[in-house]
Structure 1
Amino acid sequence: MINLLFLCIAGFIASFVDSIAGGGGLISVPAFMLFGLPPHIALGTNKFSATTASLTSSLKFIKSGKANLNLLKYIIPFTFIGAVLGVKAVLLIDQSFLTPLVMALVLLVGVYSLFSKNLGINNEYKGTTLKLIIIGIVFGFTIGFYDGFFGPGTGSFLLFGFVKIFKFDFVSANGNTKVLNFTSNIASLITFALEGKINYYYGIIVAIFMILGAILGTKAAISNGSKLIKPIFITMSLAVAVKMLININ
Structure 2
Amino acid sequence: MADLFPALFSNYLILCLGAFVAGLVDAVVGGGGLVLIPTLFSVFPNVAPATLLGTNKVAGVMGTSAAAINFARKVRIHWAAAAPAALAAFALSFSGAYLVTHVPTDMMRKALPFVLLAVAIYTLKKKDFGQHHAPLLSGSKEKLYAVLVGAGVGFYDGLFGPGTGSFFVFLFVRIFGYDFLRASAVSKVVNIATNLAALLWFSYSGHVIWQLGLLMAVFNIGGSLVGTRLAMKHGSSFVRKLFLFVVGALILKTGYDAFLK
TM class by smaller structure: over 0.9
Mapped contact 1:110–1:235 kept (Cα < 8 A): no
Mapped contact 2:80–2:142 kept (Cα < 8 A): no
* CA deviation vs aligned residue, 1:175-231 (integer Å, no higher than 9, x gap): 011111111111111111111111112111111000010111111111211121001
Equivalent position of 1:83 in the other structure? 93
Structure 2 CA distance for aligned equivalents of residues 41 and 76 of structure 1: 25
Mapped contact 2:34–2:162 kept (Cα < 8 A): no
* Runs of at least 5 residues in structure 1 that lack an aligned partner in the other structure: none
1:2 pairs, out of 2, 10, 29, with: 10
Equivalent position of 1:27 in the other structure? 35
**Counterpart code for 2:105:** Q
SS of the residue 2:208 aligns to: coil
1:64 pairs, out of 62, 74, 77, with: 74
* CA deviation vs aligned residue, 1:70-89 (integer Å, no higher than 9, x gap): 22222222111111111111
Structure 2 CA distance for aligned equivalents of residues 98 and 191 of structure 1: 22
* Runs of at least 5 residues in structure 2 that lack an aligned partner in the other structure: 1-8
SS of the residue 1:243 aligns to: helix
CA RMSD of aligned residues (A): 1.3
Q: Is residue 2:123 matched to residue 1:105?
A: no
TM-score, structure 2 normalization: 0.91
**Counterpart code for 2:125:** F
SS of the residue 1:94 aligns to: coil
Number of equivalent positions: 249
Shift of 1:31: 0.9
Runs of 4+ in structure 1 deviating by more than 4 angstroms, as ranges, are none
Q: Is residue 2:218 matched to residue 1:230?
A: no
Mapped contact 2:109–2:254 kept (Cα < 8 A): yes
* CA deviation vs aligned residue, 1:110-160 (integer Å, no higher than 9, x gap): 121122110000001145222222111111111111111111121121111
2:177 pairs, out of 167, 182, 190, with: 167
TM-score, structure 1 normalization: 0.96
Equivalent position of 1:42 in the other structure? 52
SS of the residue 2:176 aligns to: coil
Higher mean Cα deviation, 73-82 or 202-211? 73-82
Mapped contact 2:136–2:175 kept (Cα < 8 A): no
Q: Which has the larger radius of gyration?
A: 2
